[in-house]
Structure 1
Amino acid sequence: MSDSATTRDTRRALPLPEVRVGTVVAPLVVGVASLGLWQVAVTGLEIDPYIVPAPSAIWDQLVAARESIVSGMVVTGRNALIGMLLGAVVGILGAVLASASKVADQMAVPVVAALSVVPIVALAPVLYTMFGAAVDTGRIIIAALAVCIPVYLNTLRGLRQVSSVHRELMAAYAATPTQVARTVTLPTATPYVFTGLRVASSLAVISALIAEYFGGPVGGLGKSITTAASSSNYALAWAYVVGSIVLGLSFYVATLLVELWASRHTPTS
């Protein structure tokens, strides 16, 4: 029995109450307790709102500005999603090319190393000068660059995990390139691809948010956070931060669900 099958059988054997406590109840208890301590500390120590507002004040702003927060999530989420899709496509195609050609692999090393250390805070103003701050092109490019690197590196690593013995065996069977990709390459590389995508899903949202700090749509979450903070409405700024957290978690969960679906439909080697 394979390791994946053993894992699935083990999960099915776990009692349902134990699964709920480990995955749902325990995190909720920790979260509620943390919010309670936060509220007591802010109230009891009389901490100023510009340092950290109380959770109750943040909740009030969440309710009052829920339409604006949801609208900001849509604006920022759209840029992050487009950038994530573009970056993922470029990263996967680049990894496939690098795995197939040693020359392409060696040429890509300095480019990937340079892109991985480019600070977003320095790149955003440059792209806004090139494309203009009124359009989303610069913000999408920034999100795509943040996504491309982890997807490329993880995909390339997955493609290199294919054993030479398996390749030689498929060659002995006179398998076509499509058959080799379907039965050997894809099952081996898919987990690595989705590991990169899960990491990149959060980076896409973070990059889109940071890019908005330097000039972006008025309704974006990043711009809304800076606007609320500059007007000393710190509880509202934190409410937009909560919206950003929800957006990032949504991207991560969506990527995880796609991974689970793909793992069930990918043939095992």
Structure 2
Amino acid sequence: MNADRVRVVASPIVFGLAAVALWQVIVVVFQIKPFVVPSPLSIGDQFVSRLDVIWLASLGTASNALVGLVVGTVVGTLWALLAAAWRPLDEVTAPLITALAVIPIVALAPVFYAMFGASVETGRQIVASVAVFIPVYFNVLRGLRQVKPIHRDLMRAYAASARQMSRHVTLPGALPFFFTGLRIASSLAVISALVAEYFGGPVSGLGKAITSAVSSSNYALAWAFVLGAILTGLVFYCAVYALEALVMSRFRH
């Protein structure tokens, strides 16, 4: 590993550790109450001592986020493909998709719980799917329309079929846009699944765990669950980033 890579990796780690140390000093020096913000040491202590509970809550949120990520990505990609191939479909559905993009999660979650029941995870998974659908759809659609006319004309000059044009020009050009949308969606899937847990459904997941810890005035534990949510989001983001690196490297070769 060369010096540049070491610097890229080490810089955010050093900055993060310095920020946590400053946080600890501020809490101790100014004697900040735990209900305002707990110290990093107390949060870390709760995280280690309740790791099994945090792990189970993280799995609950992650499973709903994963279902939402897969479903939202598939539907968003297919719909973008149809909209790119048939422009009237895009023109008809654009207002509906735009309206869907601005509907708050806090409004969707109770509606889905009423529709599918509060004893199942379906409502949370649909909320995550909707949140994922939006960035994937818009990014894929934009990527599919980024092909320059000169490239299409060149493929036609070589008598390329529509399938060959899609495989060698359109889809490779849309891949970076697809993964941009997927990276955004990976974080949104976790956030939306967690937020949906605040408004009903089964007693599982990080959202419910955070509210339970706060209601019992265990603020350090609540922040430990928040740390679990951060780590869950990072796992999703890093997994998508690794998938992107793998796929793009294969296309380059």
Aligned to 2:163: 178
Does the alignment pair 1:16 with 2:2? yes
Aligned residues: 253
1:176-255 to 2 correspondences below 5 Å: 176-255=161-240
1:179: how far off?
Answer: 1.2
The answer (yes or no) to whether the contact 1:187–1:267 under 8 Å persists in 2 is: no
Cα distance in 2 between the residues matched to 1:126 and 1:78: 21
The answer (yes or no) to whether the contact 1:216–1:223 under 8 Å persists in 2 is: no
Per-residue displacement from partner, 1:176-224 (whole Å, max 9, x unpaired)? 2221112101111000000000001000000000000111332311100
Cα distance in 1 between the residues matched to 2:189 and 2:127: 8
**1:17 corresponds to which letter in structure 2?**
A
- TM-score, structure 2 normalization: 0.97
Per-residue displacement from partner, 1:212-255 (whole Å, max 9, x unpaired)? 01113323111000110111000000000000000001110000
Identity of aligned residues (%): 54
Aligned to 1:95: 80
Per-residue displacement from partner, 1:108-133 (whole Å, max 9, x unpaired)? 21111110000000111111001111
1:163: how far off?
Answer: 1.3
Does the alignment pair 1:72 with 2:72? no
Cα distance in 2 between the residues matched to 1:138 and 1:218: 13
1:163 pairs, out of 148, 168, 181, with 148
1:89: how far off?
Answer: 0.6
Cα distance in 2 between the residues matched to 1:24 and 1:163: 37
Aligned to 1:146: 131
1:169: how far off?
Answer: 2.0
**1:159 corresponds to which letter in structure 2?**
L
Cα distance in 1 between the residues matched to 2:130 and 2:204: 23
**2:5 corresponds to which letter in structure 1?**
V
The answer (yes or no) to whether the contact 1:158–1:192 under 8 Å persists in 2 is: yes
Can you give the 5+ residue segments of structure 2 that lack an aligned partner in the other structure?
Answer: none
The answer (yes or no) to whether the contact 1:131–1:137 under 8 Å persists in 2 is: yes
The answer (yes or no) to whether the contact 1:79–1:208 under 8 Å persists in 2 is: yes
Question: What RMSD in Å do the two structures reach over aligned CA positions?
Answer: 1.2
1:267: how far off?
Answer: 5.3
The answer (yes or no) to whether the contact 2:118–2:200 under 8 Å persists in 1 is: yes
Cα distance in 2 between the residues matched to 1:260 and 1:18: 19
The answer (yes or no) to whether the contact 1:68–1:219 under 8 Å persists in 2 is: no
Cα distance in 1 between the residues matched to 2:62 and 2:201: 13
**1:110 corresponds to which letter in structure 2?**
P
Does the alignment pair 1:105 with 2:90? yes
Cα distance in 2 between the residues matched to 1:35 and 1:67: 24
**1:18 corresponds to which letter in structure 2?**
D
After TM superposition, the runs of 4+ consecutive aligned structure 1 residues lying more than 2 A away are: 216-219
Does the alignment pair 1:33 with 2:11? no
Cα distance in 1 between the residues matched to 2:156 and 2:239: 37
**1:218 corresponds to which letter in structure 2?**
V
